[in-house]
Amino acid sequence: MSTVESLGVTSGRMGEGSLWTLLKQAVRGTQQDYTEGPLGRAVFLLAVPMVLEMAMESVFGIVDVFFVGRLGADAVAAVGLTESLLTVVYSIALGLSMATTALVARRIGEKDPEDAARTAVQAIVLGVAVSVPFAVVGILGAREVLALMGAPSSVIEAGWGYAAWMLGGNVSILLLFLVNAVFRGAGDATVAMRSLWLANAINIVLDPCLIFGLGPFPELGVAGAGLATVIGRSAGVAYQLRALGRSGRHLRVGRRHVAFDGALGLRLLRLSVGGTGQFLIGTASWLGLVRILTPFGAVALAGYTIALRVVVVALLPAWGLSNAVATLVGQNLGARKPERAERSVWIAGLYNMVFLLGVMALFLWKAEPIVALFSADPEVQRMGALCLRVVSYGYAFYAWGMVLVQAFNGAGDTVTPTWINLFCYWLLQIPVALVLARGLGYGPLGVFLAITVAESVIAVVGLVVFRRGAWKRKEV
């Protein structure tokens, strides 16, 4: 089957209309049953809002740093340290989100929206419960936590208010992730996208007002950035909860679903352990690479940091496609259509590979001008361009690795990707980086090569395990 046929395109048409019509449907939302019809169309309808959702999530940190940067280095340092503290919150949120998407998608595929709604309620309960200890630490001990992170007194005084708001209001982070995971699992990705549009719009408006005291707003400095972010995220959560209670396209939560279910909550927690582990293993590995790069100087670190930011932005569409796979696999396994679930992975993997090969070509051709947008230092440009090029050599593999990992997660098998990540990142990537960079004298190039090797091996190992098919028999 050709790519065009798989999308359902006939004589310039795609399914029920043109490509432009399909794009509008993806943004507006659709009644699409993702266990029926052309799989290419299903991937497109799910991926578009998921890409836009992820883009909006990355905007929060960018906006805060943009405005806080006007307050000086201490304020920026406080934001950076607080984000480091929030890594644990993000890890838990992502782990619970993976489990929530898998369970909700499976129930929707089984045509059991009642159990899907109960799963949504338990995810919210867990999110609120998990947020409490972090909130207590933030409200009562923001200064002490920053001191434990090694912050000098000037940074603590400048930024403790920001840390207090962000940690104290961390429930908005957890719920924004978790309820969006519910909508993604149900196939209502547009609701997830819109909630982040709203949250970001409010944050963008309130940030300068609360930081600098514009108009009737008080001048709160860097603490204002934290308050603006919490208000924006909370507004997004309010929009989500309102949407959950309305007559949705695939799922609706009513009063009858609002009850604590210990067994279902434990099932979510068990599934979330693997997802949390995946994120923590990956994050710790990247920090390990930074430690290996540190002796090679500020230029190496700056080039690596800039290249990594560029890569993250460039991969947003690829992550959107991969997240779409989690929903398709979960729903089609629930509908007892494992072959359709498998085909969705091959189609999405092919699309992802084509896209990332295009990104690779761009990086090989225009790496220096891209890095130059972020630094005027010729040496930093050279190092960043080297990193972009070397890492991009593995993009064909990386495209498949991303999709396969999300296929396992969508099937409810969050443990397999965790073991793959542990092996490929900590038992392969870190040792290879050390040997190449320091043992064999390749320097920063050795670290960049290690990234390419590890990501490629993830794809190969994932493919081997995926072909065995055990994920098709996973019960959640």
Domain boundaries, the chain: 49-260, 276-473
Q: Tokens 């993009």 sit at which residue?
A: 395
pLDDT at res. 247: 59
> What does the pLDDT look like over 46-95, one tens digit per residue?
888 888 877 777 677 677 777 887 888 788 778 878 887 888 898 899 99
Using pLDDT thresholds of 50, 70 and 90, give the confidence band for residue 152.
confident
* Of 329-333, 334-338, 372-376, the least confident: 372-376
Q: What is the mean pLDDT of residues 339-344?
A: 94
pLDDT at res. 448: 94
Percent of the chain with pLDDT over 70: 95
Residue 238 reports pLDDT greater than 80: yes
pLDDT at res. 248: 64
Q: Tokens 């708001």 sit at which residue?
A: 165
pLDDT at res. 1: 41
Who's near 329: CB < 8 A, 6+ residues apart? 105, 341, 344, 345, 406, 407, 410, 411, 471
Other C-beta atoms closer than 10 Å to the C-beta of 11 total: 4
Q: How far apart are CA 24 and CA 11, in angstroms?
A: 19
Q: What is the mean pLDDT of residues 443-463?
A: 95
Q: What is the mean pLDDT of residues 373-386?
A: 87
pLDDT at res. 61: 65
Q: What is the mean pLDDT of residues 363-378?
A: 88
Q: What is the mean pLDDT of residues 320-324?
A: 88
Residue 12 reports pLDDT greater than 50: no
Residue 99 reports pLDDT greater than 70: yes
Residue 20 reports pLDDT greater than 70: yes
pLDDT at res. 7: 45
At 14, which helix (H) or strand (E)?
strand 13-14
Q: Helices 298-314 and 338-372: crossing angle, nearest 10°? A: 140
Q: How far apart are CA 290 and CA 309, in angstroms?
A: 14
Nearest to 328 by CA among 115, 33, 114: 33
| Residues in a beta bridge with 66 | none
Tell me which of 376 and 458 has the higher pLDDT. Answer: 458
pLDDT at res. 101: 94
Residue 9: φ, ψ to 5°:
-90, 130
At 10, which helix (H) or strand (E)?
strand 9-10
Other C-beta atoms closer than 10 Å to the C-beta of 294 total: 11
* Of 209-218, 298-307, 346-355, the least confident: 298-307
Tokens of 270: 């068990």
Q: Tokens 């909700």 sit at which residue?
A: 104
Residue 13 reports pLDDT greater than 70: no
Q: How far apart are CA 202 and CA 20, in angstroms?
A: 29
The vertex-236 CA angle with 259 and 269, nearest 5°, equals 40
Biggest alpha carbon–alpha carbon distance for the chain: 67
Q: How far apart are CA 287 and CA 289, in angstroms?
A: 5
* Of 80-89, 136-145, 376-385, 456-465, the least confident: 80-89
Q: How far apart are CA 332 and CA 311, in angstroms?
A: 31
Tell me which of 237 and 192 has the higher pLDDT. Answer: 237
pLDDT at res. 319: 86
Tell me which of 146 and 343 has the higher pLDDT. Answer: 343
